[in-house]
Amino acid sequence: MSKTGPSRPNLWTLGGLILFLAAWEAAVQAGFLPRTLVPPPSAVPNALLSELRNGFWLASVQASLGHYTLGLVLGSLGGVVFGAASALSPRFDAATSGIARLLRPIPPLAWIPFALIWFGATEGAAAFIIAIGVFWVNNFATYAAVRAIDPGLIELADAFGQGGLLPRLLKIILPGAAPGMLAGLRSGLGQGWMAVVAAELFGVEGLGQRMSDAAGLLATDVLIVYMLTIALLYALSDAAFQLVSRRVLAWTP
Protein backbone atom coordinates (compact mmCIF):
# COMPACT_ATOMS: atom_id res chain seq x y z
CA MET A 1 0.00 0.00 0.00
CA SER A 2 1.22 3.49 -0.78
CA LYS A 3 2.38 5.55 2.17
CA THR A 4 -0.01 8.28 1.15
CA GLY A 5 -2.96 5.91 0.89
CA PRO A 6 -4.28 6.14 4.49
CA SER A 7 -4.19 9.96 4.38
CA ARG A 8 -6.32 10.30 1.28
CA PRO A 9 -9.70 9.85 3.05
CA ASN A 10 -8.68 12.60 5.49
CA LEU A 11 -7.78 14.90 2.61
CA TRP A 12 -11.10 14.26 0.91
CA THR A 13 -12.89 14.93 4.22
CA LEU A 14 -11.01 18.20 4.70
CA GLY A 15 -11.63 19.21 1.11
CA GLY A 16 -15.36 18.51 1.37
CA LEU A 17 -15.59 20.57 4.56
CA ILE A 18 -13.74 23.50 3.02
CA LEU A 19 -15.95 23.36 -0.08
CA PHE A 20 -19.09 23.30 2.08
CA LEU A 21 -17.97 26.34 4.11
CA ALA A 22 -16.96 28.23 0.98
CA ALA A 23 -20.33 27.58 -0.66
CA TRP A 24 -22.13 28.63 2.53
CA GLU A 25 -20.09 31.87 2.74
CA ALA A 26 -20.68 32.64 -0.94
CA ALA A 27 -24.43 32.05 -0.68
CA VAL A 28 -24.73 34.51 2.21
CA GLN A 29 -22.45 37.14 0.66
CA ALA A 30 -24.36 36.94 -2.63
CA GLY A 31 -27.69 37.39 -0.86
CA PHE A 32 -29.10 33.95 -1.66
CA LEU A 33 -29.34 33.34 2.09
CA PRO A 34 -30.49 36.18 4.40
CA ARG A 35 -27.67 37.22 6.72
CA THR A 36 -30.11 37.89 9.58
CA LEU A 37 -31.28 34.26 9.54
CA VAL A 38 -28.18 32.40 8.34
CA PRO A 39 -24.83 33.85 9.47
CA PRO A 40 -21.80 33.45 7.21
CA PRO A 41 -19.03 31.21 8.59
CA SER A 42 -16.72 34.23 8.70
CA ALA A 43 -18.91 35.76 11.44
CA VAL A 44 -18.54 32.80 13.80
CA PRO A 45 -14.95 33.46 15.05
CA ASN A 46 -15.85 37.00 16.19
CA ALA A 47 -18.96 35.68 17.93
CA LEU A 48 -16.85 33.08 19.72
CA LEU A 49 -14.32 35.69 20.84
CA SER A 50 -17.13 37.87 22.16
CA GLU A 51 -18.62 34.97 24.14
CA LEU A 52 -15.18 34.12 25.54
CA ARG A 53 -14.46 37.71 26.56
CA ASN A 54 -17.81 38.05 28.32
CA GLY A 55 -17.33 34.73 30.14
CA PHE A 56 -20.54 33.23 28.74
CA TRP A 57 -18.86 30.39 26.84
CA LEU A 58 -16.84 28.98 29.71
CA ALA A 59 -19.68 29.32 32.23
CA SER A 60 -22.13 27.60 29.87
CA VAL A 61 -19.73 24.74 29.12
CA GLN A 62 -18.97 24.16 32.80
CA ALA A 63 -22.66 24.18 33.72
CA SER A 64 -23.63 21.77 30.95
CA LEU A 65 -20.76 19.41 31.72
CA GLY A 66 -21.94 19.23 35.33
CA HIS A 67 -25.45 17.92 34.74
CA TYR A 68 -24.43 16.07 31.58
CA THR A 69 -21.93 14.03 33.57
CA LEU A 70 -24.41 13.38 36.37
CA GLY A 71 -27.16 12.33 33.96
CA LEU A 72 -24.74 10.21 31.93
CA VAL A 73 -23.48 8.31 34.97
CA LEU A 74 -26.93 7.70 36.44
CA GLY A 75 -28.50 6.72 33.11
CA SER A 76 -25.62 4.47 32.09
CA LEU A 77 -25.38 2.70 35.45
CA GLY A 78 -29.14 2.22 35.69
CA GLY A 79 -29.41 1.00 32.10
CA VAL A 80 -26.57 -1.51 32.46
CA VAL A 81 -27.89 -2.92 35.73
CA PHE A 82 -31.49 -3.11 34.52
CA GLY A 83 -30.53 -4.61 31.17
CA ALA A 84 -28.26 -7.23 32.72
CA ALA A 85 -30.89 -8.18 35.32
CA SER A 86 -33.53 -8.58 32.60
CA ALA A 87 -31.22 -10.74 30.49
CA LEU A 88 -30.17 -12.97 33.39
CA SER A 89 -33.54 -13.44 35.08
CA PRO A 90 -36.48 -14.62 32.93
CA ARG A 91 -38.89 -13.78 35.75
CA PHE A 92 -37.55 -10.25 36.13
CA ASP A 93 -37.61 -9.84 32.35
CA ALA A 94 -41.23 -10.98 32.16
CA ALA A 95 -42.24 -8.72 35.04
CA THR A 96 -40.62 -5.61 33.56
CA SER A 97 -41.00 -6.11 29.80
CA GLY A 98 -44.46 -4.54 29.78
CA ILE A 99 -43.19 -1.51 31.70
CA ALA A 100 -40.31 -1.13 29.24
CA ARG A 101 -42.64 -1.29 26.24
CA LEU A 102 -44.87 1.34 27.87
CA LEU A 103 -42.13 3.83 28.79
CA ARG A 104 -39.54 3.33 26.05
CA PRO A 105 -41.46 5.22 23.28
CA ILE A 106 -41.88 8.28 25.51
CA PRO A 107 -39.13 10.77 24.51
CA PRO A 108 -37.07 12.57 27.18
CA LEU A 109 -38.70 15.87 26.14
CA ALA A 110 -42.07 14.59 27.35
CA TRP A 111 -40.65 14.25 30.88
CA ILE A 112 -39.74 17.94 31.15
CA PRO A 113 -43.02 18.97 32.90
CA PHE A 114 -42.50 16.23 35.51
CA ALA A 115 -38.85 17.22 35.90
CA LEU A 116 -39.93 20.79 36.67
CA ILE A 117 -42.59 19.62 39.13
CA TRP A 118 -40.29 17.17 40.92
CA PHE A 119 -36.98 19.08 40.88
CA GLY A 120 -37.79 22.63 39.81
CA ALA A 121 -35.62 24.49 37.30
CA THR A 122 -32.43 22.99 38.71
CA GLU A 123 -29.45 20.96 37.57
CA GLY A 124 -31.20 17.91 39.01
CA ALA A 125 -34.04 18.36 36.54
CA ALA A 126 -31.60 18.62 33.61
CA ALA A 127 -29.67 15.54 34.79
CA PHE A 128 -32.95 13.63 35.07
CA ILE A 129 -33.89 14.39 31.44
CA ILE A 130 -30.43 13.38 30.22
CA ALA A 131 -30.45 10.20 32.33
CA ILE A 132 -33.74 9.03 30.81
CA GLY A 133 -32.40 9.23 27.27
CA VAL A 134 -29.15 7.48 28.22
CA PHE A 135 -30.90 4.80 30.28
CA TRP A 136 -32.81 3.16 27.43
CA VAL A 137 -29.81 3.06 25.09
CA ASN A 138 -27.73 1.21 27.67
CA ASN A 139 -30.61 -0.97 28.84
CA PHE A 140 -31.26 -2.53 25.45
CA ALA A 141 -27.58 -2.71 24.46
CA THR A 142 -26.71 -4.55 27.67
CA TYR A 143 -29.72 -6.84 27.39
CA ALA A 144 -28.77 -7.85 23.85
CA ALA A 145 -25.09 -8.29 24.74
CA VAL A 146 -25.77 -10.54 27.73
CA ARG A 147 -28.35 -12.61 25.88
CA ALA A 148 -25.87 -13.15 23.03
CA ILE A 149 -23.35 -14.95 25.27
CA ASP A 150 -22.85 -18.57 24.24
CA PRO A 151 -24.76 -20.81 26.70
CA GLY A 152 -21.96 -23.34 26.28
CA LEU A 153 -19.64 -21.00 28.18
CA ILE A 154 -22.04 -21.00 31.13
CA GLU A 155 -22.19 -24.80 31.08
CA LEU A 156 -18.39 -24.95 30.94
CA ALA A 157 -18.13 -22.65 33.95
CA ASP A 158 -20.55 -24.90 35.86
CA ALA A 159 -18.45 -27.93 34.99
CA PHE A 160 -15.34 -26.29 36.46
CA GLY A 161 -17.08 -25.26 39.68
CA GLN A 162 -17.71 -21.62 38.68
CA GLY A 163 -21.49 -21.87 38.66
CA GLY A 164 -22.12 -19.27 41.36
CA LEU A 165 -23.63 -15.95 40.30
CA LEU A 166 -20.60 -13.80 41.19
CA PRO A 167 -17.93 -15.99 39.52
CA ARG A 168 -20.17 -16.44 36.48
CA LEU A 169 -20.77 -12.69 36.31
CA LEU A 170 -17.12 -11.70 36.64
CA LYS A 171 -15.51 -14.43 34.54
CA ILE A 172 -18.07 -15.15 31.83
CA ILE A 173 -20.88 -12.63 31.52
CA LEU A 174 -19.10 -9.29 31.87
CA PRO A 175 -16.11 -10.18 29.65
CA GLY A 176 -18.36 -11.80 27.05
CA ALA A 177 -20.83 -8.92 26.98
CA ALA A 178 -18.22 -6.15 27.23
CA PRO A 179 -18.07 -5.27 23.50
CA GLY A 180 -21.83 -4.85 23.26
CA MET A 181 -22.08 -3.01 26.56
CA LEU A 182 -19.32 -0.60 25.57
CA ALA A 183 -21.09 0.05 22.26
CA GLY A 184 -24.19 0.99 24.25
CA LEU A 185 -22.19 3.26 26.54
CA ARG A 186 -20.68 4.99 23.51
CA SER A 187 -24.13 5.54 21.99
CA GLY A 188 -25.23 6.94 25.34
CA LEU A 189 -22.51 9.60 25.13
CA GLY A 190 -24.11 11.01 21.99
CA GLN A 191 -27.65 10.57 23.28
CA GLY A 192 -26.75 12.55 26.37
CA TRP A 193 -25.46 15.49 24.36
CA MET A 194 -28.58 15.47 22.21
CA ALA A 195 -30.66 15.80 25.38
CA VAL A 196 -28.55 18.59 26.91
CA VAL A 197 -30.10 21.46 24.94
CA ALA A 198 -33.66 20.30 25.59
CA ALA A 199 -32.88 19.77 29.27
CA GLU A 200 -31.71 23.38 29.61
CA LEU A 201 -34.39 25.20 27.66
CA PHE A 202 -36.59 25.63 30.72
CA GLY A 203 -34.14 27.89 32.55
CA VAL A 204 -31.23 25.73 33.68
CA GLU A 205 -27.87 27.39 33.07
CA GLY A 206 -25.83 25.86 30.28
CA LEU A 207 -25.36 25.68 26.52
CA GLY A 208 -29.06 25.22 25.84
CA GLN A 209 -30.08 28.27 27.83
CA ARG A 210 -27.44 30.38 26.12
CA MET A 211 -28.72 29.19 22.73
CA SER A 212 -32.26 30.07 23.74
CA ASP A 213 -31.15 33.59 24.72
CA ALA A 214 -29.30 34.00 21.41
CA ALA A 215 -32.32 32.81 19.44
CA GLY A 216 -34.49 35.40 21.15
CA LEU A 217 -32.08 38.12 19.98
CA LEU A 218 -31.72 36.61 16.48
CA ALA A 219 -27.99 36.23 17.22
CA THR A 220 -27.62 33.36 14.81
CA ASP A 221 -23.82 33.58 14.83
CA VAL A 222 -23.89 32.87 18.58
CA LEU A 223 -26.22 29.94 17.94
CA ILE A 224 -23.68 28.47 15.53
CA VAL A 225 -20.94 28.92 18.14
CA TYR A 226 -22.79 26.78 20.67
CA MET A 227 -23.88 24.21 18.11
CA LEU A 228 -20.23 23.74 17.18
CA THR A 229 -19.31 23.66 20.86
CA ILE A 230 -21.65 20.73 21.46
CA ALA A 231 -20.22 18.95 18.43
CA LEU A 232 -16.67 19.52 19.72
CA LEU A 233 -17.47 18.32 23.23
CA TYR A 234 -19.07 15.18 21.84
CA ALA A 235 -16.09 14.55 19.55
CA LEU A 236 -13.66 14.88 22.47
CA SER A 237 -15.68 12.65 24.78
CA ASP A 238 -16.14 10.07 22.03
CA ALA A 239 -12.42 10.02 21.22
CA ALA A 240 -11.54 9.59 24.90
CA PHE A 241 -14.07 6.79 25.25
CA GLN A 242 -12.64 4.97 22.24
CA LEU A 243 -9.17 5.07 23.80
CA VAL A 244 -10.52 3.58 27.01
CA SER A 245 -12.53 0.97 25.10
CA ARG A 246 -9.48 -0.19 23.17
CA ARG A 247 -7.62 -0.72 26.43
CA VAL A 248 -10.53 -2.56 28.03
CA LEU A 249 -10.99 -4.79 24.98
CA ALA A 250 -7.27 -5.31 24.32
CA TRP A 251 -7.78 -9.04 24.87
CA THR A 252 -10.26 -9.37 21.99
CA PRO A 253 -9.01 -10.41 18.52
Output the pLDDT for position 155: 66
Report the C-alpha gap between 245 and 215 in whole angstroms.
38
Structural element, H or E, at residue 72: helix 56-88
Report the C-alpha gap between 199 and 66 in whole angstroms.
13
> Given its phi and psi angles, is residue 158 left (phi above 0), alpha (psi -120 to 50 degrees) or beta?
alpha
**Closest residue by Cα to residue 143 from 107, 92, 192:** 92
pLDDT at 164 over 80: no
- The tens digit of pLDDT for each residue in 81-111 reads 999 999 888 899 999 989 889 998 998 889 9
- The tens digit of pLDDT for each residue in 209-230 reads 899 889 888 899 999 999 999 9
Q: How many residues does the chain have?
A: 253
Burial (CB count <10 Å: 0-12, 13-18, 19+), residue 102? exposed
Q: pLDDT category, 1, cuts 50, 70, 90?
A: very low
Report the C-alpha gap between 227 and 39 in whole angstroms.
13
Longest dimension (CA), the chain: 76
User: b or e along 108-137 (b: 16 or more beta carbons within 10 Å of the residue's beta carbon)?
Assistant: beebbeebeeebeebbebbbbbbbbbbbbb
Q: What pTM was estimated for this model as a whole? A: 0.84
Alpha helices, DSSP H only, in the chain?
A: 8-29, 44-54, 56-88, 90-103, 112-119, 123-147, 151-159, 165-168, 174-200, 207-216, 220-248
Average pLDDT over residues 27-41: 87
Q: pLDDT category, 2, cuts 50, 70, 90?
A: very low
**Closest residue by Cα to residue 108 from 84, 144, 72:** 72
Residue 150 DSSP SS3: coil
Output the pLDDT for position 170: 72
**Closest residue by Cα to residue 133 from 103, 92, 113, 178:** 103
